[in-house]
Copies of this chain bind each other. A is one copy, B any other.
Amino acid sequence: MGILAFLAAERTLVDGALDRLLPPADAWPRRLHEAMRYAVFGGGKRVRPILARAACRAAGGDPARILEAACALELVHTYSLVHDDLPALDNDTLRRGRPTVHVAYDEALAILVGDALLTEAFLVLGTHPAGEELAPRRAEGCRLVALAVGSAGMVGGQVEDLEATGTPPDAGRLERIHRAKTGALLAASVELGAVLAGVDAATRQRFARFGQSLGLAFQIADDILDVTGTAASLGKSPGKDAAAGKLTYPAVYGLAAARQELCRLAGALRAEAEALEGRSGTLASLVEYIASRDR
């Protein structure tokens, strides 16, 4: 199976699990649950759950047993998008070609949809994978995801991103923002897969470091796409980051140097994926996909 067929199959599994995990659209309060589903089922690539399952497999675990827990990562990711899009933050009206939640519904509901999705993520992590003997892994899953997306992680990165908007290029600041804002959750996805597979502390560290580099590569690719992509391929206006005065890799280093850095990182990631899983493993395919994706 090629990487695209693999990704499509994974997405189908993840979408099915998300559908089972989320309350039905007609459950009280109906408007909230409708809007939560509108946000979650908006054409996401499901990169984070897929990464967690790939890491679990590479670490010798059974990815089928962590399907639900992996979906928690997508819930966290979706909450962060809904809140980032709000008028007080990035003020985005389109996301993946559709009106953002505060446009399709209203601002109050969009704030509460984000709150509910974040909470649901920890409900899922506290519940799955089931079984008394797996409780230590569940508790550790809650802990590691919360650490990654809290005030010293994803939320912190969003704060500094807002503060840095319109300021002069600053390489240190750019890396700090990216590591926290996007990198931390991607790294946590890889680490969660390994932790739920039951690896020892040293192996966990290797997976965590691999996840950090992968997160950085993902973000550089994203920054490059903002410059080189088309509205059709991105599902949003290209050049938006530049127009908003955001710190990006092309803005700080130039497009050619950003591409070079992505290429260097991808090489190191390839070698590490092979060391973790062997030559034809899923992690190596995901590295290729992330380094060369065009949307």
0/1 interface trace, chain A 124-167, chain B, CB 8 Å (1 if under): 01110000100110111111011101111001101110110000
Q: Is the CB of B31 within 8 A of A163?
A: yes
Say yes or no for A241: interface residue by CB 8 A criterion: no
Given A123-B147, A123-B150, decide whether A32 and B115 contact each other with a Cβ distance below 8 A: no
Q: Give residues in A with beta carbon < 8 Å to B.
A: 23, 27-29, 31-33, 36, 79, 83, 86, 88-89, 106-109, 111-112, 114-116, 118-120, 122-123, 125-127, 132, 135-136, 138-143, 145-147, 149-152, 155-156, 158-160, 162-163, 176
Min C-beta distance of A42 to chain B, whole Å: 17
The quantity of this chain's copies bound in the complex is 2
Do B155 and A140 have beta carbons less than 8 Å apart?
no
Distance A160 CA – B151 CA, assembled complex (angstroms): 29
Take A31-B159, A119-B151 as given contacts and tell me if A108 and B126 are in contact as well, using a CB distance cutoff of 8 Å. no
Taking a contact as CB atoms under 8 Å apart, the answer to whether B127 and A27 are in contact is no
Is the CB–CB distance between B120 and A151 below 8 Å?
A: yes
Chain B hits for A122, CB < 8 A: 122, 142, 145-146
Given known contacts A126-B146, A146-B119, A159-B32, A88 and B108 CB-to-CB distance under 8 angstroms: yes
| B111-A86 in contact (CB<8A) | yes
State the CA gap A136–B137 with chains docked (Å): 10
* Cα–Cα, bound, A27→B114 (Å): 25
Q: Give CA–CA (A126, B144) in the complex, Å.
A: 8
Known: A116-B155, A119-B151. 10 other contacts (CB 8 A): A23-B152, A29-B163, A86-B111, A88-B108, A112-B158, A120-B150, A123-B143, A126-B139, A126-B146, A135-B139
